[in-house]
């Protein structure tokens, strides 16, 4: 009860900040519509999408220019001129841009692969906010080689580029400029029928001049794609409902594998299934999947595990990544009520896990009016008779309501329900597990104040006691100062089986402050100084279990290189015996504590150069021993066709007798090649000495039509010393996008 009262007290200031922001937003919106209002008219002439802004073709569209820098010199005119035009017809929103390039030299382009990183390429982008909520929208971008990137903007300024959809563009390069033409289908977007204005901003990344600029100015301390900093696209008539938008994406796949450690022969199989996308309205979408296949997703980058708790590996499956913010962004990174990677894996009461095939699923998501978003996800897995696992049904329901200027109140319900009977003793699985939660997301109109408060409760059979989790986060971000506050609480019996909660029964408090010094020198761009404190205690505040004090200094150069120094002082109390090397040696005793100090230095080179690298070194005390940590990333970009990179990590741990010493290597050379904008090859080799394995993953992709692909994936695992093969697999998969 006391903890709940504390949290209510913490929530009240957030509501005050948000209410103050509402009044400010009303004034700023009126000012923005006057200063950055763009009138868009119906196209009088058809657009021939060839990247050439022919005379007469765009005369019916207003020209806007006057882009201003975000970095390095906030508010100053961009070095290179950019001109933008927009118009529309019944089916498309058309955008044309001329990006002048007087500075000699070529363009900076990472590869010919779709969904490039905007910040790492010369690029032009448009950000659209059809709902005028300051948080959600779309981003479309192209680089000088007409490689496309599209993404969903959520939480104001975060972009998820896993959203794939059809749109069209063309680029023409000249000696002194490059020209862009875009055609974005209205049925690709989500908006309210009858809309008369959208939020909009146009962005340019000029890597050669180390400049990011935009039509509507964006403060240096914000992300340039933030929808809070945008103008208004004023339609000359209310928008009509677009035509039907139904797509079916069938697939067929074949696989063959062999485990050389057994006497079994080659295992092979065929599979088929489909995804479907149905636009129920301009603002509501339904996604369906039947017998989904995720065998061709990119392989995880392995991690050296020196942690006492579960490691986090991000979701990589396309179906779960699209619109993930509606389902996956509840709670905090270490208190997630829903983690989609749990779906398709069954875990019994003994902690043993096994793959659990997904039979089918559906996801409904979209807007109900301008201020309410809803989401509903349901997935059904198969009964695995061979190992005695019953099928599982997973349901996630969410709703999010905008309040004040850009804040929101959101609710989530997560349910895992066993749909079969356990057929093998020892494979017991609880009948259900549920989590019910409420989140309040704070975002002020100027994005200086951001925060979150949540309260979640889990429900499981025969579980009583403290099964709640709550937390609060508040940050204040100005051009000079960033101050943050964070608290977390997880009860002893809080159990989110479909979430990610690596530890329980604790309080956590984490204040930090950072000072930003912006320089106007020829070499240095800015400097930051940070102090942070992070402490964990037990539920009664009677025992401190973990503590970390951090000082960090970072130097940013105008050539994009950085230097960072960090100093840590840490404290750890062990509840259970623990081997700090994770090599199976003698463990440190439970109920012992350790204080240790370490320091580190990181250097990142000029990322614009074809050859670039970064390196981190940490050294110091580690429990009752010593640890040296070295991490290096080396990249060579043979643009625009791809990258060759090498990731290497080394841990040298020296412990007193009778504990193990350790020399742990993690090495990962990788090659990404874009033969054309439709043919891609990637090879990723990973040597992990901790698990005594070498993995080789080769992935070929041919995008023969928009959002239609042929994949060939080849995977090997070897013993490192003898290079004797452990197992091998070959996968062939064909997908095809059909508009109905």
Domain tally, the chain: 2
Residue 302 lies in a domain: no
Residue 20 lies in a domain: no
Nearest to 230 by CA among 332, 382, 323, 126: 126
Residue 484 lies in a domain: no
Residue 1, both tokens: 């009860």
Point out which residues pair with 268 in neighbouring strands: 256
For the beta carbon of residue 331, count every other beta carbon within 10 angstroms: 26
Antiparallel, parallel or unpaired: β 123-129 and 137-142: antiparallel
Residue 88 lies in a domain: yes
Question: How would residue 648 be classed by pLDDT, with cut points 50, 70 and 90?
Answer: very high
CATH of the domain at 211: 2.60.40.1190
The predicted-structure confidence for 598-633, as pLDDT tens digits, reads as follows 999 999 999 999 999 999 999 999 999 999 999 999
Region 77-102 average pLDDT:
95
SS3 408: strand
**Residue that has been written with the tokens 């080769």 in this structure:** 698
Residue 168 lies in a domain: yes
- Domain boundary, last residue among 678, 694, 722: 678
Decide: 224 and 218 in contact? Cβ < 8 Å.
yes
Region 558-574 average pLDDT:
96
- More reliable by pLDDT, 243 or 655: 655
**pLDDT at position 722 over 50:** yes
Q: What is the 3-state secondary structure (H, E, C) of 313-363?
A: CCCCCHHHHCCCHHHHCCCECCEECCCHHHCCEEECCCCCEEECCEEEEEE
The predicted-structure confidence for 163-184, as pLDDT tens digits, reads as follows 888 899 999 999 999 999 999 9
**pLDDT at position 351 over 80:** no
Nearest to 429 by CA among 439, 416, 440: 416
Task: Print the domain residue range for 194.
Answer: 36-235
Decide: 201 and 213 in contact? Cβ < 8 Å.
no
What phi and psi, each to the nearest 5 degrees, are found at residue 706? -55, 125
**pLDDT at position 26 over 90:** no
**pLDDT at position 5 over 50:** no
Q: In whole angstroms, give the CA distance from residue 653 to residue 305.
A: 13
Decide: 634 and 610 in contact? Cβ < 8 Å.
no
- More reliable by pLDDT, 423 or 418: 418
Model confidence, pTM:
0.89
Alpha helices of 558-598 — where are they, by DSSP H? none
User: Is the bond leading into 208 cis (omega within 30 degrees of zero)?
Assistant: no
Residue 383 lies in a domain: no
Question: How would residue 133 be classed by pLDDT, with cut points 50, 70 and 90?
Answer: confident
Region 410-431 average pLDDT:
83
Q: In whole angstroms, give the CA distance from residue 191 to residue 198.
A: 9
**pLDDT at position 567 over 90:** yes
**Residue that has been written with the tokens 């802004």 in this structure:** 53
Can you give the pLDDT at residue 1?
45
Kind plus residue range of the DSSP H or E element containing 220? none
Distances (CA, A) of 202 to 199, 214, 232, 389: 11, 6, 11, 52
The predicted-structure confidence for 432-478, as pLDDT tens digits, reads as follows 999 999 999 999 999 999 999 999 999 999 888 899 999 999 999 99
Residue 392 lies in a domain: no
DSSP letter assigned to residue 19: H
- Domain boundary, last residue among 678, 704, 728: 678
Residue 105 lies in a domain: yes
Can you give the pLDDT at residue 611?
97
Distance of CA 684 to the CA centre of its chain: 21
**pLDDT at position 62 over 50:** yes
Can you give the pLDDT at residue 54?
83
Percent of the chain with pLDDT over 90: 75
> What DSSP line would sit under 150-212, residue for residue?
EEEEETTTEEETT-----EEEEEE-SSEEEEEEEEEGGGS---TT--EEEEEEEEEETTTTEE
Q: In whole angstroms, give the CA distance from residue 108 to residue 253.
A: 37
Decide: 53 and 492 in contact? Cβ < 8 Å.
no
Distances (CA, A) of 359 to 5, 146, 383, 392, 738: 44, 38, 10, 10, 22
**pLDDT at position 16 over 50:** no
- More reliable by pLDDT, 17 or 482: 482
- Domain boundary, last residue among 657, 678, 699: 678
């Amino acid at each position: 009860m006391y903890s709940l009262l504390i949290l209510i007290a913490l929530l009240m200031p957030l509501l005050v900040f948000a209410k103050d922001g509402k009044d400010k937003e009303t004034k700023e919106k009126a000012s923005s519509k006057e200063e950055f209002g763009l009138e868009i008219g119906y196209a009088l002439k058809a657009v021939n999408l060839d990247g050439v802004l022919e005379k007469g073709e765009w005369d019916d569209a207003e020209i806007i220019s006057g882009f201003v820098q975000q970095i390095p010199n906030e508010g100053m005119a961009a070095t290179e001129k950019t001109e933008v035009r927009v118009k529309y017809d019944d089916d498309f929103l058309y955008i044309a841009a001329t990006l002048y390039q007087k500075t000699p030299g070529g363009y900076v382009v990472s590869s010919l692969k779709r969904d490039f990183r905007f910040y790492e390429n010369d690029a032009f982008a448009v950000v659209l906010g059809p709902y005028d909520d300051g948080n959600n929208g779309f981003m479309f971008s192209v680089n000088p080689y007409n490689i496309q990137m599209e993404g969903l903007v959520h939480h104001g300024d975060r972009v998820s580029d896993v959203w794939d959809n059809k749109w069209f563009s063309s680029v023409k390069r000249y000696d002194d400029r490059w020209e862009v033409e875009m055609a974005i289908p209205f049925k690709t977007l989500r908006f309210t029928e009858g809309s008369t204005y959208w939020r909009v901003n146009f962005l340019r990344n000029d890597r050669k001049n180390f400049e990011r600029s935009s039509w509507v100015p964006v403060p240096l301390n914000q992300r340039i794609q933030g929808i809070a900093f945008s103008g208004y696209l004023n339609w000359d008539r209310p928008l009509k409902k677009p035509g039907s938008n139904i797509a079916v994406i069938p697939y067929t796949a074949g696989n063959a594998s062999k485990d050389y450690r057994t006497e079994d022969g080659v295992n092979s199989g065929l599979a088929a299934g489909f995804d479907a996308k149905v636009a129920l309205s301009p603002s509501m979408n339904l996604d369906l999947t039947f017998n989904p296949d995720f065998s061709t997703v990119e392989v995880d980058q392995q991690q050296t595990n020196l942690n006492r708790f579960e490691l986090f590996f991000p979701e990589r499956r396309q179906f779960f990544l699209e619109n993930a913010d509606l389902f996956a962004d509840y709670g905090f990174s270490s208190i997630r009520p829903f983690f989609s990677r749990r779906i398709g894996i069954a875990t019994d009461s003994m902690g043993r896990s096994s793959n659990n095939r997904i039979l089918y699923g559906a996801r409904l998501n979209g807007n109900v009016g301008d201020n309410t978003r809803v989401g509903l996800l349901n997935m059904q897995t198969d009964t695995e008779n061979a190992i005695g696992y019953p099928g599982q049904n997973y349901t996630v329901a969410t709703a999010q309501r905008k309040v004040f200027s850009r804040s929101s109140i959101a609710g989530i319900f997560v349910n895992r329900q066993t749909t079969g009977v356990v057929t093998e003793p020892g494979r017991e699985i609880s009948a259900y597990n549920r989590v019910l939660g409420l989140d309040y997301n704070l975002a002020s109109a100027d994005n200086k104040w951001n925060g979150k408060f949540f309260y979640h409760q889990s429900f499981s059979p025969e579980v009583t006691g403290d099964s709640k989790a709550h937390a609060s986060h508040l940050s204040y971000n100005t051009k000079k100062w960033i101050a943050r506050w964070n608290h977390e609480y997880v009860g002893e019996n809080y159990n989110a089986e479909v979430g990610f909660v690596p530890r329980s029964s604790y309080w956590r408090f984490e204040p930090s402050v950072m000072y930003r010094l912006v320089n106007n020198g020829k070499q240095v761009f800015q400097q930051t100084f940070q102090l942070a404190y992070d402490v964990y205690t037990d539920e009664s505040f009677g025992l401190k279990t973990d503590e970390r004090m951090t000082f960090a200094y970072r130097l940013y150069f105008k050539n994009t290189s950085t230097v960072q120094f960090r100093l840590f002082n840490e404290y750890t109390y062990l509840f259970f015996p623990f081997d700090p090397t994770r090599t199976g040696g003698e463990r440190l005793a439970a109920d012992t504590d350790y204080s240790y100090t370490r320091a580190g230095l990181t250097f990142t080179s000029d990322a614009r150069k074809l050859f670039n690298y970064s390196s981190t070194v940490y050294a110091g005390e580690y429990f009752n021993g010593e640890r040296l940590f070295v991490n290096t990333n080396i990249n060579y970009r043979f643009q625009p066709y791809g990258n060759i990179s090498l990731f290497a990590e080394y841990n040298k741990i020296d412990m007193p007798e009778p504990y193990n010493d350790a020399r742990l290597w993690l090495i990962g050379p990788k090659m990404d090649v874009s033969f054309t904008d439709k043919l891609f090859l990637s090879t990723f080799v990973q040597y992990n000495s901790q698990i005594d394995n070498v993995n080789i993953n080769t992935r070929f992709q041919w995008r023969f039509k928009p959002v239609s692909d042929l994949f060939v994936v080849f995977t090997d695992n070897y013993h490192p010393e003898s290079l004797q093969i452990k197992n091998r697999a070959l996968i062939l998969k064909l997908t095809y996008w059909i508009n109905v």
